[in-house]
Each structure stands twice: as C-alpha cells, then as structure tokens.
Structure 1
Amino acid sequence: MNSILAFVSLILFIYQIHSNTCITYASYPRNEIDRAALLAFKDKMIEDPLGIMSSWKESVSHCNWSGVYCSRRHVGRVTALDLMNQKLIGTIPPDIGNLTFSRAIDLSANQLRGNIPEEFGRLFRLKRLNLSYNELGGEIPRNLSSCEGMQVLYLLSNQLSGRIPDELQYLVERELIKFVVAKNNLIGEIPSWLGNGSSLASLQLQENNLRGRIPAELGSISRLEILHLGLNNLIGHIPSSIYNLTSLISFGVSLNSLHGEIPLEIVNYFPHLQFLFLSKNRFSGQVPHSLPNATGLKGLSLASNSFTGSVPANLGNLMNLRYIFFGGNQLQTGLDGLSFLTALTNCTKLKYLDFGYNKLRGEIPVSIANFTNTLHMLYLGSNLITGSIPREIEKLSGLQILGLYDNSIGGEIPHGIGKLQNLTYLYLYGNKISGAIPSSIGNVTQLLRLSLGYNQLEGDIPPSLGWCRQLQSLRLSNNNLNGTIPKEVIGLSSLSLHFGVAGNSLTGPLPLEVGNMSQIVEVNLSDNRLTGEIPSTLSQCLMLVTLDMSGNSFEGSIPLSLRTSIGLEYLNLSRNKLSGKIPIYFENFTVLDALDLSFNSLEGEVPQEGSFRDMKRISIMGNKELCGGIKELGLPACKVRDMKKWRKLPKLKISIVVTISCLIMLTCFIAILYRRRKSMTRPSVALPTDERFPRVSYAKLCQATNKFSPSNLIGQGSHGLVYRGILDGNQLVAVKVLNLNQKGAFKSFLAECEALRNIRHRNLINIITVCSSIDFTGTEFKALVYKLMQNGSLEQWLHPTENLLDMPKLSLNQRLDIAIDVASAIEYLHHHCQTSIVHGDLKPSNVLLDHDMVARVCDFGLARLLHGSTNQDASKCQASSSGLKGTIGYVAPEYGLGGTSLLQGDVYSFGILLLEMFTGLKPTNVMFKDGWTLHEFVKTAQHESLVKILDPSLLSAEYLAGTGHSQISNADTVRFEKNIADIMRIGVLCSAKLPIERMDMMNALCKLCVIRKNFFKHGM
C-alpha cells in the first residue's frame, strides 16, 4: 500500500514540475509577448483623447482591454486589434510584429505618424490590415508580401510615397480581395501585374501621382467590382480590355488626360454598373445612348470633357439616379429643346443635376415643377437657353443651389422665388431678366450668395434683402437700378465676400451703415450717381481688399479714418469731386497694387513712398493742383513757405510771444502737478458712461437678474461672477459682479473702466454702464453691465462641455472670420487708441460671439495703458503697471521672467489662440509637457502636411466639400493646404518665444485678410 502511495506521489510530483514548466513557457511567449507589444503601442501614443487605452492596466488581463480580442483556443494570444477612429496621436512601434496570431488590425481614422513598420511582414496570419486616414509616410513595406493570407489592404489617405512594390504581386496573385492605396503620393506607372489578381474585388489607386497608360492587363481581373484610377496623370485611351470587367459596379477615371470615345455598348459591358466617373478628361464623341439602359446607375459624371451630340432622351429610365453631372461639354439640343429635363423628372431620387457650360437651346419646361423635393442642385448656366424662369419653380422646396447664369433668359424673376426656403445660392447673372427685384427674396433667409448682375433689372433695391442675415455675397452690378442704397442691405454684418452695385443709377449718399460690413472683402460702387462725402464709418471695414467708388459725385476730402484699411490691394476713387490733399498714410499701405485718384480736385504734394514710388501702381491725372512726387510724374515742384517774413519781425514782438508761451506752459505744469497729487490722495473711477447710458442702481440690477439668482449665472471670471439679466424690461445684459474681497478685484474694476472709457470698436464688448454703489446690507458693490452675447464664448464652441456636446462645430470659414475679428480688436487697441492698450488676458473664454457669430473681445480686468511717445513706439514703452498676470498657456514666456506688459505679450496670446482654433488643441493639453508646446507642435508639423493636424471636424465639413463643386481638383487641394499653411505660419510667428521675433498685430491682421480673400476667390 505504501509503495502504491509513493508511486502516485512521484507521478504527481513529475506532473507538477511539468505543469509549472508549461505555465512558465506559456506565460511568456503566449501571453507576455503580446501584452508587451500592446504596452509598447500604448507608450508610443502622445494623446488618447477618447480614453480607449485607459483600460489597458497592468492589473487587468490584456484580453479584457478595450479594442483587444484574443483567441479562445490559444490562451492570451491576440487575434484582432481594433482602434479605429479613436483620435490617437503617435507612431506605430515595431513591436506590433510580435502579434503573430493577429488576423485583423484596424488603426484607421487616427493621427498616426512615421513609417509603416516592416515588422507587419511577420504577421503571416494577417488577413485584414486597415491603416487608412492617418499621417503615415515613407514607402509601402515590401515585406507585406510575407502576409500570405492577406485579403484586405487599406492604406488610403496617408502620405505614402514611392512606387507600388513589385513584391506585392505575390499577394495580388493569391487571395488579396481589396487593394486600396488611394489619396497618397505614390509615383510611377500602374503595375501591369495587378491584372494577375483574379480574386481582386476592389482596386482603388485614385488621387496619387501615378502616370502613364492604364495597363490592358487590368481587364483580366474577372471579379473586380470597384476600379478607381482618377486624379492621377494617366494618358491615352481606356483599353478595350477594361470592358471585359462584367462584375464592375463602380468605375472612375476622372481628372486625368484620357481621350477617345466611350463605346456605345458600355452598358452591355458593365451590366451591374452603379457609379461611372469619367469627368475632367478629354473624352470626345457622343454620350453613349445605351447609358439609360443601365437602370442600376446611381451616380453618373461625364463633366468637363468634349462630348458632343445630344443628351440621351430616355435618361428618365435611370430611376435610381442620385446625381448626374454633364457640365462642361459641347452637348446640344434638337427640335425638342430641353425635353430631356421632363424625362429626368421620373428620377425621384435625383439630388444633383448639372448641365452647365454646354450649348443647350430652348426654354426651361414647366414640367420642371415635377422634380421632387429631393432635388438640391439645378445647374443650367452658360448655355443658350431662352424664354423665362417658370413660375412653377417655386414648387422645388428642397432646392439649395439654382444656377441659370449666362444664358438669354428674359422675363421677370418669379415672385414665388421667395418660397424656396432652403435656397443658399442663387445665380441669375448674365441674362436679359427685366422688371423689379421681387421683395419676396428677403424671405429666403438661408441665402448665402445672390448674383443678379448683368441683367436689365430696374427699380429700387428692396430693403427686404436685409432679412437675409446670412448673406455673404450680393452682386447687383450692371442693371438699371435706381433710388438709394437701403441701409438695411448695406448694413448687413454678414456680408463678407462681395458687395457690388456698380453700373446702375443709384443716388443719394452712401449710408453710414456701410461700417457694419466689417468683414467685407470687395466693395464696388462705381458708375452710379452717389453723392455726399465718403463716410468715415467705411474705416470699420478693416478686411477690405478691393474698394471701387469711381464714377460718382463724392465730394470733400479723403477721410483720415481710412488709414485703418491697410489691407487694400485695389482702391479706385477716380472721377469724383474729391478735394484736399492726398493722405500721407497711403504710403503705409504695403500691399496696395493699384491706386486711382484721377480726375478729382485734389491739391498739394504727392507722397513719394510706398506705392507712389511706382508709376504703374498709381494714377493721379486730372488733378491740376497737385505738385511734387517722384520725377517720373512730371509734376511741378511744390512751393516752399517763405521764412523771411519771420526774420523781419521786431525782436520785441518775438520776446513777447516767447514770454507768453512760457507762462502758459508753466501754468499748465502747475495744474497737472496739482491734479496728480490730488489723485494720489484718493482713488477715482472714470466711469465709461454718458448721457445715452445713465448709471444704474444696485436695486435695478438686483431686479434684472432676479436677485442674482444662481439660475442666471452664466460664467465666472477671475475677479467675480457674471449673470444674465433683462434691463428695463427688454434689454438683454450680462452683469459682471466684482468680488471685492478677492485680492486685485478693485484694481481690476478700475483697469476695466479706464480701458473701456474711450474705446469703441465692433469687435470689442459693448459696455452699457457701471454700478458703483452699496447693496442692501451696506456693503460696497461694484458691477459692470455689458450687452449680452447670445452665442456664448469661443471656449464653449471649441471645447464644449458634456451638456453642450450637441453644439454644431465651427466651420473653417467661421474660425477664420473669428480670428480676423479678434485680430481687428487687438490691432485697434495697439495702434488706433489715443493711448495704446495691452489687453493682458487674451484667450478663448474672453472672446464672446454675438447672434451673428461676430467675435467680441471682453474682460479688460488685466488691461494696461502704455505711456510713450507715439503709437508706433508703443511696443517699446513700459506699461503703467508691472507684474502682469494672465492665463497659463496663453501668457507670454517673458512675463514669467518678470517682464513688463508690452504689446508683444498680446501678440503671443493671439498666436496661441489662432493655433488652438484650427488644431482644436488647448495649449494646456496633456501632450504638451517637458518643453513641448502647441507652438512647437505646429512648427514641427510645418515640414509635413499641416492639414493633418487640423481639428478633424473641419475636414469633413470644409476640406471634402469646401469648394462647393461635385469634385475636388488637385488645384483646390493645393490651394486649401497653402492657405492652411499660411494661417498656421501666422500663428507660429505670433507665438515665437522671443518678443522681437513676433510680427505685430497690424501685419497679422493684413495677412489673415489676404488669406480669407484667397479662400473666397476660389469658392473655398
């Protein structure tokens, strides 16, 4: 018995040793290697904003980590890693190659950088790899061919370069089903060996720099369903072998240099075709009349080619059609005119219809009303269309874009146009439309751009256009309009692209409300009958690039206030009745390319600096009393004042004058000294109130805020609380109540009063009044009352809290407008106040947005007035108080070293704010540590693609559809990226570490205005 027990004990002992050995072996190669690889991946992440790796803890099995999936059969081995769309920032470590049991890895839609590790080639079990929509660079690893079981390879939308490796031929010939490397920088020719991929179902190589001809071998891929080769540099014909791809669902070769004719039997070749993209090539011949037989077609684009002949009459058979783009060809119509539009009304799912830039004749049929409410865009511009706009067009309630420009359409604009509530773009220019502009257009409140120029319209400009509070561009030039310019229209603050009424018969003065268009880029008032003086409020249009007021009857002098329009590139004041001297400030307009002051009554000396050095940039003819200037102008020399008369004065008279002057100066000095000593004995508050804004009592503020109810609390500043209130029963206000028990609160109150007492600017917060009193308990009470900004602060829009996550994202245009608003405010404080002012605490929470999303800088509690000789020297002057405080992340580095408050400090804060607005990253983000700052982050990214560090919400809203066209060309992409680079460059220069290296606000504002013009010029 004992021997049996001993034998059993021996067996158990041996099993235990063997068991421990197995556990030790398994715990390292099967568990710890995968675990270590994942931890290495986590360590390479600079930022994990959504916190998906917060569960990756040492105390938890890695198989329970978010995004990690393990095998049931092989304990602890990772079979899949899914971290798609987690906004991760970092690099992929080579340790990823240790996940040898992985079958699927999806790291798409992040911000991963660096190269694709070659170690991916060790994952021989890998079937699906998705690294799309990142910032990966370098070449495609050649050893991916070692992943013998690879079926799906997605690498689109990165920065990959080089050629498509020949080593991938092995994958293509085996099981690779989907090969997508679109939207990179790949070069070379399309490899012919891709035609060996009998299993390929999707081949997408579009938006690279591939060149040469389409390989005929591609026609051998019998299972191919998606073939996209567009946006490359391909030439030649489409090889006939392509038409062997009977399984093709989507075929795209847009934006190449392909030519030839499309076979009439194309539908027979592609019986399952749903999407056909052939636009922007050199295709010729007729549009295949067999196309309407492809009843499964959802998208059809043949735009920008050289197709001739007629439009197929039976396009209405395409019942599933969502969009059709035939614009930019040479299509014509027969005796039936535009009857094909009647047929297309059968396509009940149609959203976008474009036949612009052809040679179509005929009248727009009344049957156009049969299009369903799903139709969003109707383009028939630049054709030979006659007749009138059918009244029935009012039934297209879903219409957003209507383009009938450059035709021969007559008649009147239907009054029912005002029923198109969703209309945002209305282009009717270049026709023969007559009658009055219907006042009903004012009901189209979503309208962004209205272009009615070059017609025969008459009557007044309807004031109801002022109801279109989102209108950005208004073009009414070259009509027969008369009457005055309505202040309701020219006072639209939303107008930011163009305001044009040239070539009409408008009369009266230019309304003072012109200053409300502070964001406007181009204004054209030429060739009318406008009178009066040039209003000084025009100086509030700080973004002006083009201003044409020629051919009117403006009189008086050129206003001094125009000196703020330093961004002007074109200024034409010719053919008016202006008098006085040419302002010397024109010399400071560094970007001014054309200045026309000819045929006025100007006199005096012509400046010689700036644009006046180049005769080609100025025109001053027709002003007989001008003199001086550069020699090339050929003007007479100006007369020098005769100083001999002063020498003839008796010495006694001179002595008397000098004595009296000294006495006056001595009296003034004593008075100033007395007042200064008196002010030192007790503090005084210079309240920014006048007769329009009477002071308000504590009781009235208590009533306005419902006894300062917590439900009305809308914010907390550095020295008090801010409440919402209703003053006098109808005025919405924000009441900032100072906490006088807090250190520096009273000083902050004095600073804000002093700063706001004499400044007025559209982009500064409007102070209504102040309250300096005692409350009901006898305690001292001080408050500032502002106009309420209904859209809150920029901070809330950039970084919404949990209860505001459903807020819409700011578009790129909105952010650029806000940046220019803020720059305008700071530039005004620095260079256009009687005493230059340092704001001292510029940050998103101190930028408020009104109901029109116009930005206003607020909170002057840390503001300081600079005392120096001139505004030009203000940057060198010391502030009235040192020890300036601010907010971490936005305060300039020199303040941490005991520096004084200078203008460059505000410039630094603005630079950081600008970078934050476009990257979406706070300067206090956890990724910024150990000397790594938002400034350094963007500065480093300048050597790569700056688009990749944009706030991701901008790319879908602006980059992918920012041009307003059906497709984005390479030129659009290049322009977009250049403008983004320019914006980021301004932010980097403004936030330079050394104050001497920063640009001033005047230059920053000017450059931002030019960038906005470039965006708008190309419809971005």
Structure 2
Amino acid sequence: MGLTLPNLKLLAAAENNFSGNFPTSITNASGLEILDLSQNKVAGQVPANLGDLTNLQLLNLAVNFFGNNSTGDLDFIASVTNCSNLRILSLSYNNFGGNIPRVVANLSNQLTALYLGGNQLSGTIPEGFGHLVKLYILALEENSLSGLIPRDFGKLQNLQLLSLHYNELSGQIISTLCNATALYYLELSFNQFEGDNIFDNVLMNCQNLQYLNISQNNFTGIISPHFLQTHSSLMYIKIGENSFSGSLPPEVGKLIHLVDFNVSHNQLVGDIPISLADCSDLANLFMQANFFQGTIPPNLASLKSIQQLDLSSNNLTGPIPRELEKLQFLSYLNLSYNDIEGEIPNTGVFRNASQISLTGNNKLCGGIPELEFPPCPVIKGKNRGKLKVIILLSIVLPATLLVLGALLLYFLVYHKGERRMVAGFSSMPPRIDELLRLSYHELVHATSGFSPENLIGSGNFGAVYKGRLEKHGNKLVAVKVLDLQKNGASKSFKAECKALRNIRHRNLVSIVSYCSSIDSKGDECKALIYEFMENGNLDLWLHPSETTDQATSSRSLNLLQKLNIAIDVASALQYLHDHCEAEIVHCDLKPSNILLDNDLVAHVGDFGLARLLPKPVNTSSEQRTSSTIAIKGSIGYAAPEYGMGHAASTQGDVYSYGILLLEMITGRRPTDDIFVGDLDLHNYVNGALHERVPEIVDPLLLSEGRDENNRITHGEKTINGGREIDCIISLLKIGLKCSARLPNDRMHMNEVVRRLHLIKDVFLGVRVHQENVEA
C-alpha cells in the first residue's frame, strides 16, 4: 500500500474487522499525516521504523491486539520521536507489556493527547512527562503500574484530563498536580494512594474540576468545607472506600451541578445535611457504610432527578419520609441496616420490592406484601382519652408483667421437649422460627403428590418440586425435599437453615416456609420452601442446547443481560461476605444454583454447603484446615485449595465466581471435554486474552452487536461491536483475576462489584471512555 500510494496523507480504517499484522510498507508513504487503525483485530508488533512517517500528526492504534505482553513491546516509540508534528498518540486497549520507556519524554513537544490505558504495562511511571508541555490528555489507566506519581507531572500546566485508575500506584499525590488549573477530569480510583486532607493539601487549586474519582484508596482526613464551597463546577465526586472521617459539611449544597455523589464505605459521622437537597441535578447518591445518624431529611424528595439512593449500613433513625414516594425517577433505594421505624410507604418506588431494600430495620411495618414486614397496628383516637390510658397502664402493667413472668416460667419448664421436636430450629433466632410451618400433607397437596411433572430439579441431597399453596393466596413455591437417607442430607438441611435464618437480600432466594414432620410411611421429612422463580436457573440459559425442553432450548442471554446477572451474583456474595453478622461462605456457587425471576434478576440459592465464619481472628491455621476438610463443592467450580483440605473461605467463593463469569462469556463449562491435562477454563481464556478473544467468546455475544433488530441504544449512540468487545475483555480479566490459583491473588467482592458497575457504565456510554481520541 505504501509503495503504490506514496502521496497518501490520510488512512482511516477504524472500526472494521481487519486482522493480520501492521502493514509495514505503509512507512513508505512518507507524506502520511493521519493513520487510524483503531478498533480492529490487527495484531503483532508495531514496526520499529514507524518514525519514517515524519509528517505524522495523529497515530491511533487503539483497541487492537498489538503487542505480546512482553518487554520491548513499546520500543517502536523511540522512532516515533522523529515525528515532530505528532499531536495525538493512542495505543490504548492493546496487549502492550513491559515498562513505559523513558524515551516517551522525547516525543513531539506538540503532543496534546497520549493514551496508553488498558494494556499490560508494569513498573513505575518514568520521569520526563513534564517535557510534554502541551499535553492536555494523559490516560494510563487499567495497567499494572506501581510506585509514585512523578513530580514533574506538576509541569503539565495545560493538562485537562488525567486518568490513572486501576493500577497499583501508591504514596501521596504531588501537591503541584493542580498547577494545571484547567484540569477538569481526575480519575485516580483503585490504587493505593494515601495522604491526609487531600482536599486542602492537593485539590484546592483544581478550580475547574468537574469529575473527581479517588475512590478505593487509603486517603484519610476530613471533607473540606472550603473545598466544597469553592468548587461549584463539580459534577461527579466519588471518594468511596477510603478512610475519610468527620461530618459531611453543609457546604455540599453549593455543588449545584452535582450529578453523582459517592462517599460510601468511609467513617463519616453526624446528620445527613439537609443542604444536599440544593443539589437539584443529583441522580446518584451513595452514602452507605458510614456512621451517619439522625433522621432521613424529608427534603431529599426535592431531588427530582434522583435515580439511585443508598443510605444503608448507617445509624439512621426515625420514619421513612413519605415524600420519597413522589420521586418518579427513583429506581433503586437501599435503606437497609439502620434503625428506622414506622410504616413503610406503598406507592412510588415502594411498590416494587426488587427496587428497594429495607433489611435489618426491625421496627418497620406495613408496605407491600412482598417485603414481608409485619402489618402496622391500627391506632384509633390517638388524641382521645390519653389520660385514661396512662392511668389504666399504671394499674394493669405491673399485674400483666407478673402474669407474663409466670407464663414464661411455665413455658420454659414444661415445653422444652416440645421445642426440641423441630429439629434443626430450636437454637435459631426468631427469623426462621416465625416462618409459616407446613405439614407433610400440605406439601403433598401443593405438589400433586410430588408428581414427576412438577419435578424441576435434583441435587446431591434431594429433589425440588414446583408447588402451589392454595391456602396461602395460591402462591407458587419451589419445595426442596431432603432425602435423609443420603449421607450429609440432614447436615445440609441444618446448614441451609443456619445460613438463611437472618439474611435477606434482593439477590438471594427468599425462603417462604419449612417442614419438619413425619411422612405417610412414618419416616422423618424435612423440606424447605422457597419463592418460585419462573425463569429457572442460569444453567438452562447458558447451555440451552443440552435440554430437550423446546421451551428452554431456544433461550439465550445478550451481553447486557449477562452483565446484569454478573452484578447481581457479585452483589449477593458481597452481602454474604461483608454485611452479615458472620461471614457466610456459600461453598457451592455454580449456574444451577442461580435462579432467575421474571425480570431476569439473579437470585443465589442452595445454601446446603454454606459455612458461617465468626469474625474473631485468633484461629490457628491448623484449626481452620481441619474444621472443614469435608467440603467438596462442585467439580470445576470448587477452589483448588479445598482439594488440599483447606478451610472454607470467602476467597473460595471468589474463585467459583470467577469460573462462573468465564463460563458466562465463553459458553463453556469448566468440565468441557476440551479441557484435558493442564488445560482448564482459566488457562483457556488466559491464553487467548487480547489476541484471540473473538475465538473463545460465545458467538451469540459477538453477533448481537451486528444485529440491527437487537441493538441496544443509549441516547443517540448505538452500542456496537467496538464497545461490546471492550466490555467482554474487561469481564474476562475480572474472571481470570477471581479464579487465580492462589487465594491471596484473587479480588475482593467489593472490588468486583465496583468494577462491574464501571464496565456497565462504559458499555452504556454513561462514563467517559478514553478510546475516543479525536481532537
């Protein structure tokens, strides 16, 4: 091409499916000014003589398969320093490895944008970037860079966008970073940065900030009132999962352009400032896992644009403001694990149980039936006869307490034996004891005599039947009947009861009832009754061709649906691992144990192998190893350390989740026949990452972006194969990290959830994405 078109000035071949290697002859077209090969499948090394194109102004090789994840992948940059007119250089989202070469500092002093994100780069960021004085975009995100931010970053006075997230950078942020007064986009999340009072000490001079994300680091100190008061241009503030303390200043109300505000998982205290209501454009407000107290300000209802509101895991009291019912765009509300009380509203967002979470507020009542809170007491004539009531209580109350004491003594003495009849439940808290208890004959009637037509699944310890409770509103249920003749079935029943007795989450299967009775033959019968899921389990959707049922053999999930399911399952594990009284380890996470409701929302079920890990830390390794040596899980999904007798751990669940995620994207089971010898699902994906991803991905995921009838639109942009393959690669990376062989190398579920939400935002076009490099 270069030989036959020597006068070529512009070659734009982006967003196609070109493959093969870089066309080396193109360097003969010495007049070339713009070369754009981005978003293709071009692989191999970039020619070392690329610098022969001395007139080059834009070089865009982003989103390809360039590089071999090895040292020297970026050696060609040395020749590119000859391109004195180069203004934009994008090498992002390839497979470049090794260190960033120091020669980058010798690139054209006309360079305005440099994109190196989404590669495999490691080592420290070299000094010398300060020489690129006209640089206004610098993107180094999603690599494995470590060490400090170089001090000469402070010389980049024209910098507008700096993206360093998802690396392993550490230390304090240089105080001169905000010498670039035009800096409006600063993304430093998911690193190990530290420092006290970063707002006053570093960020104060960034007067034009619009997007600030420093979440998932080790920052401490307070949120500066002066910083909030003087930075009214901020639209996005994300400082979650650090160690900020103190109160949230009322000056937050000065941020009148704020759209996203996330201060979750810090150590903030005090009341929620009512001035938040002045942030009229606020769409997403995340304040969970702090120490906020007081009542929920009713004037939050003036946030007409609010879509997501999470105040969970704080110390909030008082009632739920009824004004929240009026928020027509609110689609996610989480008030769980506070001490709020009173009647639950039942209109607006409160009409949909899948959109709200109120778990852990034992003083609430009412609401829609699906929330399963007790009805509120009916109080008439509140203001009438109060004096009579007080007098009556002063007389009756002592007598009543005396009678209750006598009854309690009688109950304890004469009914101990009766309590023991409910095996497996006698020591449980009221949560599961107070469930509707069904008899064996009621289960027989509900399942038409355990008819084979109602059999919907079977497992290691029993079978699951579809049933209908006619006496209880014709409710459809799934009845899990334990086969107590099988070794471990009774232990499994107790484990599931113990795990489920106190937990409730929108992505966990809800237990409706239980049965501990005698069957028609006089044998013991134990069963658990769950909410029925119309769409069956995830396994049927991932492998529809393996079923003979015509209704399910044509099922398929698109990429967005799989991404939502991945987020649902990760959220459930995050809750089990971090937000329960004791850590709960599922121990048997696999597609058949993930059920899908009418809206394809995923619910994790089957806790028959679950383990509760109390949180004191002085247990010796020998004790922990011997305590759960019998755990096996399921072949292909069980963590490798379980096979060596190691104890159950949350890292074991993370491994299972990683395998599940890889299965969802590739469409291959971990027990597929192709996996022999040392080849397993993890190695299969790892060997193909970047270079051969389209070859290993479920073909349905790659074809949907090209199907005009099935495209998903967001605003006026169509999500096509370019953004699709980015999302798939990011998901595969998470799956590989979670399924690492060594437990300490795996991700934490908090990080998994965060990354998945970020991927979804990018996929839907919500977030700025650095692959667009046009000036």
Which residue is equivalent to 2:113? 299
Matched, 1:370 2:202: no
Letter in 1 for 2:92: S
Which residue is equivalent to 1:565? none
Structure 1 pair 233–509 and aligned structure 2 pair: CA distance change class (3 A): same
- Identity between Structure 1 and Structure 2 (%): 26
TM-aligned CA deviation for residue 536 of structure 1:
2.6
Which residue is equivalent to 2:134? 320
- Secondary structure, aligned partner of 2:325: helix
Matched, 1:502 2:284: no
> How far apart in 1 are the matches of 2:184 and 2:139?
13
Q: Which string of whole-angstrom CA distances, capped at 9 and with x for unpartnered residues, describes residues 821-865 of structure 1? A: xxxxxxxxxxxxxxxxxxxxxxxxxxxxxxxxxxxxxxxxxxxxx
Which residue is equivalent to 1:812? none
TM-aligned CA deviation for residue 421 of structure 1:
1.0
Alignment of 1:360-759 (within 5 A): 360-372=169-181, 374-388=182-196, 389-392=198-201, 393-418=203-228, 419-496=230-307, 498-537=308-347, 539=348, 545-559=354-368, 573=371, 599=432, 612-613=477-478, 618-620=509-511
- Secondary structure, aligned partner of 2:344: coil
Which residue is equivalent to 2:400? none
TM-aligned CA deviation for residue 368 of structure 1:
3.2
On the 8 A contact 2:514/2:528 being kept in 1, the answer is: no
> How far apart in 2 are the matches of 1:370 and 1:399?
12
Structure 1 pair 578–325 and aligned structure 2 pair: CA distance change class (3 A): farther
Letter in 2 for 1:396: C
On the 8 A contact 2:271/2:294 being kept in 1, the answer is: yes
Structure 1: tracts of 5 or more residues without a match: 1-192, 561-570, 581-596, 626-630, 637-941, 976-1012
Structure 1 pair 600–410 and aligned structure 2 pair: CA distance change class (3 A): farther
Structure 2: tracts of 5 or more residues without a match: 378-429, 438-468, 481-506, 517-524, 531-705, 730-758, 767-775
Which residue is equivalent to 1:113? none
Q: Which string of whole-angstrom CA distances, capped at 9 and with x for unpartnered residues, describes residues 535-575 of structure 1? A: 234x4556875321111114434436xxxxxxxxxx7x47x
> How far apart in 1 are the matches of 2:40 and 2:162?
26
> How far apart in 1 are the matches of 2:433 and 2:322?
23
On the 8 A contact 1:255/1:969 being kept in 2, the answer is: no
Letter in 2 for 1:519: F
TM-aligned CA deviation for residue 300 of structure 1:
0.4
Structure 1 pair 504–268 and aligned structure 2 pair: CA distance change class (3 A): same
- Secondary structure, aligned partner of 2:222: coil
Alignment of 1:957-972 (within 5 A): 959=717, 969-971=723-725
Aligned mate of 1:286, from 92, 96, 99: 99
TM-aligned CA deviation for residue 432 of structure 1:
1.0
On the 8 A contact 1:510/1:534 being kept in 2, the answer is: yes
TM-aligned CA deviation for residue 409 of structure 1:
0.5
Alignment of 1:884-963 (within 5 A): 944=708, 955=716, 959=717
TM-aligned CA deviation for residue 620 of structure 1:
2.8
On the 8 A contact 1:213/1:235 being kept in 2, the answer is: yes
Structure 1 pair 322–1016 and aligned structure 2 pair: CA distance change class (3 A): closer
Letter in 2 for 1:499: L
Which residue is equivalent to 2:664? none
TM-aligned CA deviation for residue 240 of structure 1:
2.6
Letter in 1 for 2:221: G
On the 8 A contact 1:469/1:494 being kept in 2, the answer is: yes
- Secondary structure, aligned partner of 2:67: strand
- Secondary structure, aligned partner of 2:167: coil
Aligned residues: 436
Alignment of 1:771-790 (within 5 A): none
Which residue is equivalent to 1:230? 38
> How far apart in 2 are the matches of 1:229 and 1:555?
59
Structure 1 pair 247–511 and aligned structure 2 pair: CA distance change class (3 A): same
- Secondary structure, aligned partner of 1:203: strand
Superposed CA RMSD: 3.8
> How far apart in 2 are the matches of 1:233 and 1:463?
52
On the 8 A contact 2:235/2:258 being kept in 1, the answer is: yes
Structure 1 pair 545–1016 and aligned structure 2 pair: CA distance change class (3 A): farther
List, as ranges, runs of 4+ consecutive aligned residues in structure 1 with deviation greater than 6 Å.
608-611, 614-617, 622-625, 945-948, 972-975, 1013-1017
Aligned mate of 1:346, from 155, 159, 169: 155
> How far apart in 2 are the matches of 1:425 and 1:492?
16
TM-aligned CA deviation for residue 526 of structure 1:
1.3
- The structure with the largest alpha-carbon Rg is 1
On the 8 A contact 1:414/1:438 being kept in 2, the answer is: yes
Structure 1 pair 353–219 and aligned structure 2 pair: CA distance change class (3 A): same
Structure 1 pair 943–473 and aligned structure 2 pair: CA distance change class (3 A): closer
Which residue is equivalent to 1:245? 53
> How far apart in 2 are the matches of 1:241 and 1:600?
75
Aligned mate of 2:143, from 322, 329, 332: 329
Aligned mate of 1:255, from 53, 60, 63: 63
Which residue is equivalent to 2:168? 359
> How far apart in 2 are the matches of 1:306 and 1:972?
15
> How far apart in 2 are the matches of 1:947 and 1:624?
47
TM-aligned CA deviation for residue 196 of structure 1:
2.7
TM-aligned CA deviation for residue 459 of structure 1:
1.3
Instruction: Give the number of the structure with larger relative contact order, counting CA–CA contacts within 8 Å between residues 6 or more apart.
Output: 2
- Secondary structure, aligned partner of 1:507: strand
> How far apart in 1 are the matches of 2:351 and 2:510?
24
Letter in 2 for 1:345: G
> How far apart in 1 are the matches of 2:192 and 2:231?
25
TM-aligned CA deviation for residue 269 of structure 1:
3.7
> How far apart in 1 are the matches of 2:515 and 2:293?
33
Structure 1 pair 413–266 and aligned structure 2 pair: CA distance change class (3 A): farther
> How far apart in 1 are the matches of 2:236 and 2:4?
48
Which residue is equivalent to 2:392? none
> How far apart in 2 are the matches of 1:972 and 1:406?
23
Q: Which string of whole-angstrom CA distances, capped at 9 and with x for unpartnered residues, describes residues 2-39 of structure 1? A: xxxxxxxxxxxxxxxxxxxxxxxxxxxxxxxxxxxxxx
Letter in 1 for 2:121: F
On the 8 A contact 2:43/2:67 being kept in 1, the answer is: yes
Q: Which string of whole-angstrom CA distances, capped at 9 and with x for unpartnered residues, describes residues 341-377 of structure 1? A: xx333333221111111111111233234221x2110
Letter in 2 for 1:467: D
TM-aligned CA deviation for residue 201 of structure 1:
0.8
Q: TM-score, normalised by structure 1?
A: 0.39
- Secondary structure, aligned partner of 2:265: coil
Q: Which string of whole-angstrom CA distances, capped at 9 and with x for unpartnered residues, describes residues 748-801 of structure 1? A: xxxxxxxxxxxxxxxxxxxxxxxxxxxxxxxxxxxxxxxxxxxxxxxxxxxxxx
Structure 1 pair 203–1016 and aligned structure 2 pair: CA distance change class (3 A): closer
- Secondary structure, aligned partner of 1:477: coil
Structure 1 pair 608–248 and aligned structure 2 pair: CA distance change class (3 A): farther
Q: TM-score, normalised by structure 2?
A: 0.51
Matched, 1:199 2:13: no
TM-aligned CA deviation for residue 302 of structure 1:
0.2
- Secondary structure, aligned partner of 1:402: strand
- Secondary structure, aligned partner of 2:323: helix
Letter in 2 for 1:228: D
Q: Which string of whole-angstrom CA distances, capped at 9 and with x for unpartnered residues, describes residues 467-514 of structure 1? A: 111100011111122211111225522111x11111111111111112
